[in-house]
Amino acid sequence: MDTFQSPGPPALPPQPQPPGARDPRVLPAGAGAGFWSEAWRIFSAAPGMWILILIVYVAISVVLSLIPVVGSIAHAVLTPVFAGGVMLGCHALARGEPLTITHLFDGFTQHRFGPLAIVGLIVLAMWIVFFLVAFVGLFLSIGVSGLSALADQNDPSVAYGALGASFIALCLVLLVLSCLIFMAYWFAPALVVLDGADPVAALKKSFAACWGNVGAFLVYGLIFIGLAIVASIPFALGWLVLGPMIAGSCYAGWRQIWNG
């Protein structure tokens, strides 16, 4: 029987089914809290190894960030590859197997690297479009305020009001777009390595799962905000725990939505 070697009730075992054959379940809003409780069990099953994995990943990210342009692109493409390995680590714990540092690199195996890297490329393209929309929107916002100033040179507040309204509208649009990108990406690495889904199908299924469980993710997000505040005090040391728990919560969401 699959279980986490940790205190508390064991997680439900994943149910074997043909890869990619499952459709996402719709969970109650309270399931968002359940993602975090299962994430804690995943972390507490191997806390020292989880912290080591996080430190190694952060170190790799810092090194890549020091390489101009190419490093940033490589980081964006490789992030799903590392995430896929972490999902395999969570899955190993669920089967009662030990978590090791090599799980971080399990996404680099020949049959996994290609699909995960394609996920990274697609998500990178999404973010490029996002920033283009942000740039064009900002340009248009400044243009609108400028036209307002020309139309009413005796009342500068009109221009400031137009600029403020345009900026708020732009921020709302960008917030929605960023949420859509995160929804498409969230479960994609897990679906690739655990369900054998192809990159495009994984992104579509991830989006469908997040959209169908928006209530659960609202609860999940509110809890995350509280945990992030606590983890940041003092000196952000709590992120050594919260970081791995975020990964565990993603696995928990995959398991409950597709295998619950």
Q: Running along the chain, 260 residues long, what does each successive block of 10 average in pLDDT?
A: 48 46 86 96 96 97 94 95 97 94 94 95 95 84 60 58 74 91 97 95 96 96 96 91 97 90
The Cβ of residue 1 has, within 10 Å, a number of other Cβ atoms equal to 7
Please tell me the total count of domains within the chain: 1
Is the separation of the CB atoms in 36 and 245 below 8 Å?
yes
81 CB-side CA count, 13 A: 24
d(CA 222, CA 224): 5
What is the per-residue pLDDT for 13?
A: 46
Q: What angle do CA 204, 207, 213 make, to 5 degrees?
A: 140
4: in domain: no
59: in domain: yes
Say which amino acid occupies 174: L
**What backbone phi and psi angles, to 5 degrees, belong to 68?**
-60, 135
The Cβ of residue 51 has, within 10 Å, a number of other Cβ atoms equal to 15
What is the per-residue pLDDT for 137?
A: 80
5: in domain: no
> What pTM does this model have?
0.85
Domain that holds residue 234: 47-259
d(CA 75, CA 173): 26
The answer to whether the Cα torsion of 194, 117, 97, 32 is positive or negative is: negative
